[in-house]
Amino acid sequence: MFLGIDVGTSAVKALLIDENSATVAEADIPLSVSTPHPFWSEQNPGDWWQATLGAIDALTAQNPTAIAATRAIGLSGQMHGATLLGADDMPLRPAILWNDGRAMRECEELDQALPDLGIQAGVATMPGMTAPKLIWLKKHEPDLFAKIKTILLPKDYIRFCLSGDKVTEMSDAAGTLWLDEESRSWNHAAIDACGLSMDQLPKLVEGSDVTGTLFPELANRWGMGRNVIIAGGGGDAATGGIGVGAVSHGDGFISLGTSSQIFVASDKYRPKPKELLHSFTHAIPQHWFQMAVLLNGASCLQWAASLLAEPDIGALLRRVEAQHDAPSDILFLPYLNGERTPHNNPYARGVFFGLGSDSNREMMVQSTLEGVAFALSDAQSRLHAAGAHCELPGVIGGGARSRYWIQLISDIMGTPLARYEGAAKGPAFGAARLGRLALTKELPEDVCLKPVIEEVIEPNQARHASYQPRFAKFKRLYAALSDEFTPT
């Protein structure tokens, strides 16, 4: 058995698979996000660890025989989170997350100091990345900054709790701005520019490498044998790719999780920072990928359902689908947590435009679904401009449960989309596969197989045409409001 752990933003997910990649058991433990100030987003690392313990405890209760057969653990997690440990190896403060927007000015300072950083780091300097957060901390929390012994990413904090090893791997390190993507090594100039030293960063490995073994007391807790290995793992985008077999050049997928991504695997490093794309190292050696990143995805639907006091999202979507006969008269800008591709604007916010006295719940939710699809279409244009293209992307993540939403995205983007078996398993499944690769040393292409396609959803060309004027208006609306989002 192979255990995958994904430290997400909304939950920690643990998933156990067998040697045939069949899921044997899975569990989710929810997490909450703190926003102590506007544009801030934080979580306590201790909450990740307690949720991880709870998730694996739940797997043990579900199937103690299977959990006892675990031979390897793979890790995945939300990227970019600045997890800071002091001299006692305890967290100094809550981790600053991927959707935190406080460090925009620090991005400008980093660009002035290192004008070519985007080419080396594979992405334009953005406040959600780890590096500008540390410059912010140096300015605004200098006493705390001086106490930093180690900087870890979220999944790597869980690694430390599991085995005591301070290690990260290429795909997650890619999101710090401290990695030289082409050489797959730390960029000393970028680290120096943040007032840091190399000994504050973890060791770098590949995602399919062994980083250590599970503490004996934890192995005893879960009835596992000795020498359960832990793999490097990957950032959630890369492990999502491992899970759906997006490892060869041109393989790709759309993720509809808390955030959204359009991911295309690449056979070499192809930086396109001016297109606001992420060109990052993959979680397996000598592989890279290009990605359009949207900070908002299925979380927009969850937010709208909560706002409208709709506890049953499935029933809500069925009602929306039943009344959907044309593009909504309401436009929704889905930028609840700012945006990366194609705007790089942490200050952007959500907008309902065109509400009338006849607007109802179903119309508002339809516009929410359309808004996310418009944002994906906007981001897709940047990938196409950079020459990145996937013939048949699959859709993964929680939003993939809705066939109606996938059809709507296909109609708006004008792109055929695949529905996979088990599409909602996501990064935890890919992490488990990386655990297997670390243990068995098999070839990635023999393990990272594509899921069975349940259905290919073709775009309705008439609907695609009907949505183009609305898409143009969506882009004009953002352009008209973009200056208004900036705080005074």
- Catalytic sites, residue numbers: 236
Report the alpha-carbon distance of residue 135 to residue 412 in Å, rounded.
40
Distances, alpha carbon 288 to alpha carbons 186, 241, 259, 374, in Å: 16, 11, 21, 27
Beta-strand pair 417-420/11-17 = unpaired
| Contact between residue 324 and residue 367 where contact means Cβ atoms under 8 Å apart | no
| DSSP, res 449 | P
Matching residue, tokens 């943040």: 194
Phi, psi (5° rounding) for residue 313? -65, -35
Report the alpha-carbon distance of residue 126 to residue 109 in Å, rounded.
11
Q: Cα torsion at 197, 153, 86, 186 (round to 10°)?
A: -10
Please name the residues in contact with 317: beta carbons below 8 A apart, sequence gap of 6 or more.
365, 402, 404, 405
Helix boundaries (H) for 84-199: 104-113, 117-121, 130-140, 142-146, 154-163, 170-173, 188-193
| Contact between residue 206 and residue 169 where contact means Cβ atoms under 8 Å apart | yes
Peptide bond into 393 cis (omega under 30): no
Matching residue, tokens 């995958």: 4
Joined together, the tokens standing for residue 295 give 């900070």
**Structural element, H or E, at residue 13:** strand 11-17
Q: Cα torsion at 342, 344, 349, 354 (round to 10°)?
A: -30
Instruction: List residues bridging with 288 in a β-sheet.
Output: 266, 281
Query: Residue 122, Cβ neighbours under 10 Å: how many?
Result: 28
Side-chain-facing half-sphere of 216: CA atoms under 13 Å: 1
> Could you give the 3-state DSSP secondary structure of residue 111?
helix
Instruction: List residues bridging with 75 in a β-sheet.
Output: 5
